[in-house]
Amino acid sequence: MSKFLLGFSLIVTVMIVASPSKAQERRGGGRRSQAVPGKELPHPPKVDDDAPIFELKNLEDQVVSLKELAEKGPVVMLVLRGWPGYQCPICNRQVGEFMSKQAEFEKAGASLVMIYPGPVDLLAEHAKEFQGAKEFPEHFHYVIDPDYTFTNAWGLRWEAPRETAYPSTFVVGKDLKVKFGITSTSHGGRASAADVLNELEKLK
């Protein structure tokens, strides 16, 4: 009987260890982080196309305007996955990487806009949670896209369970034309800060 109980407890232990926890899934570490194909592929503006103008609000309720930023210099746009029901760990790493190069972006005369899309309900609260203790420099702008107004205008809506926008990176020039763009149809496959800095160098 004792051997039977010992064997049973070992089986239960293995099952518990092997199963992803709810907390892991919320962080994107379990089944929920797998990309689900959208109803249609992204169709963002291409290089040399006019960039669709947008005005989005930051967490201080201030308007951030693409047109106004472009008057000062090139604009880098990071379209994050925002709130698909959990905080995206890949987005967090990408933002951290770009923040580590903030001096280089400032030297290039570029502004950076990080766009956090999602359903309007509690989006600002989720965006604050994503920001956490991060302190963005003056030329980095963190904005929200409630109910996907920007996301739809740029052809980036990812319509699938627990998805929001196709993660993308763009560079918009002072002439308001797209100079560079990468859009991923998965959670990874994103432009690096080095990729973007190389493109900014070409605009000089």
**77-104 tens-digit pLDDT:** 999 999 999 999 999 999 999 999 999 9
Boundaries of every domain in the chain: 35-202
- CA angle in degrees (0–180, nearest 5) for 114-158-130: 35
Query: Is the model's pLDDT at 32 over the cut of 70?
Result: no
For residue 94, the model assigns a pLDDT of 98
Distance CA 112, CA 182 (A): 15
For residue 29, the model assigns a pLDDT of 35
Q: Are 166 and 136 in contact (CB under 8 A)?
A: no
Reported as a pLDDT band with limits 50, 70 and 90, residue 34 is: low
**50-67 tens-digit pLDDT:** 999 999 999 999 999 999
- Mean pLDDT computed over every residue of the chain: 87
Distance CA 115, CA 82 (A): 8
Q: How many angstroms from the chain centroid is the CA of residue 118?
A: 11
Task: Please give the model's pTM, rounded to 2 decimal places.
Answer: 0.82
Q: Which amino acid is at 19?
A: S
For residue 15, the model assigns a pLDDT of 35
Q: Are 172 and 75 in contact (CB under 8 A)?
A: yes
Distance CA 88, CA 28 (A): 6
Q: Are 105 and 45 in contact (CB under 8 A)?
A: no
Q: Could you give the residue ranges of the DSSP H alpha helices within 31-155?
A: 66-72, 89-100, 102-107, 123-131, 149-153
Q: What is the CATH number assigned to the segment(s) 35-202?
A: 3.40.30.10
